[in-house]
Amino acid sequence: MIKNDDKITSTQLASTLIIQMLGIASLSLPRDVATQGGSSGWTLVVLGALAAMVFSLVVTRLGRMFVNDTFVEYSKKIVGNFLGNVLSFMLVVYFIFFAAVQVRVFAEVLKMFLLYYTPLEIVIITMLLSSLYIVRHGIEPIARLNEIMLPVFVLTAILVLLPTLKDIDFTNLLPLMKVSPWPFAKGIIYTAFLFTGFEFMLFLVPFLKKPQESSRYTVYAIGIAGVLNLMLVILSTTVFGVKENTHLVWPVISLIKIISVPGFFVENLEGIMIGIWTLSVFTTLDTVLYIMSLGLSRVTGAREHSYIVLVLVPIIYIVAMSPADLVQTFAMFRAVSVYGAAALTVVVPLLLLLIARIRNMRGGNDVEEV
């Protein structure tokens, strides 16, 4: 049973999801869509967001059918204890790799642009240990922090990137749709899974004060994140062009580095932006750590999640340090964000929903969307 003081509002849920969708993937998103779709890459963001909305409706519908249960409980009700536990454990492993990749990629960003002489290990350990305190206190303080952070993050990003408008050239968005259908279709699927975050709903629906609003606010979150990511992609493409975008490791940071405002007293604008982005990554890490520890505690039957997170942190550290370099890190990122997400956050929930429908299961607590 979920405690009343650990319930979150629909707005806090949306803030949590948006923060995640504007995280690490956004920094390299212009390069990714330029590689997949050329000058039509921005359309991949629109279509990918729409696909992510459809995927999210499957996840949230499952949650509303079993409104008092997380994925761990309702998967066991649908397919039995053994298979349910196997699926839940696989999902926890997915989140471990998800968290490890997020930490490793952002640690690389920090080391490249701010903490030049700090060992990568120290950066990662600091990030993980800093998340421990709030994670042990439940989802409500994490969601409240996300709600506070979101407007600060978005407004800062807009203000910092505003001076780049003078350099835009909309001819860089042409020609439109000059790409083969199959690579374009693959690009849509790839981009859809860069909107990772909707899979959090496999565990968060029972924590909502109004679970009947889960589908609507998840779609809102994807829509808002989609618009903001679309702005980043269009801005980067119109400033740098498609060809240069494909060769930039972090196009969004490169955008900030070219900004020059005469008379402005702050020179290192990328430092400000990366600092704000760091806070968003911390809050995302908090959410993922909480979901992992909650899921594992439900699988093992532990009374509290707060001690399990202590076991998960060193595992995440080991996985995060396993790639030898940035190339291997990006390869792991793609594997986790696309293939792992497709299997465990789309295919599995869809199969569970179909089985539950066939068996006419409602969990005794089905709620309709409002």
Distance, first Cα to last Cα, the chain: 24
Residue 368 pLDDT: 61
| List of residues 6+ apart from 199 with CB closer than 8 A | 59, 341, 344, 345
CA distances from residue 89 to 72, 98, 178, 300, 344 in whole angstroms, order as listed: 9, 14, 43, 10, 11
Cα distance between residue 16 and residue 6, in whole Å: 15
Alpha helices by DSSP H, the chain: 10-21, 24-37, 41-65, 71-79, 81-113, 120-135, 139-161, 181-192, 201-204, 214-240, 242-247, 251-257, 269-300, 308-320, 326-334, 341-342, 348-358
Residue 367 pLDDT: 62
Q: Which pLDDT tens digit goes with each residue over 315-326?
A: 999 999 999 988
Domain ranges of the chain: 4-358
Residue 263 pLDDT: 57
User: Residue 109: what are its φ and ψ, rounded to 5°?
Assistant: -65, -45
Helix (H, G, I), strand (E, B) or coil at 3: coil
Residue 7 pLDDT: 93
Residue 194 pLDDT: 83
In total, the chain counts a number of residues equal to 370
Helix (H, G, I), strand (E, B) or coil at 79: helix
Residue 176 pLDDT: 84
Residue 190 pLDDT: 86
Please, what CATH class does the domain formed by 4-358 belong to? mainly alpha
Q: What is the mean pLDDT of the chain?
A: 89
Cα distance between residue 232 and residue 228, in whole Å: 6
Q: Which pLDDT tens digit goes with each residue over 145-165?
A: 999 999 999 998 888 888 888
Q: Is the dihedral of CA 37, 259, 161, 288 positive or negative?
A: positive
**Cα R_g (the chain), whole angstroms:** 20
Structure tokens belonging to residue 327: 């190339």
Residue 42 pLDDT: 94
- Regions of the chain with pLDDT less than 50: 1
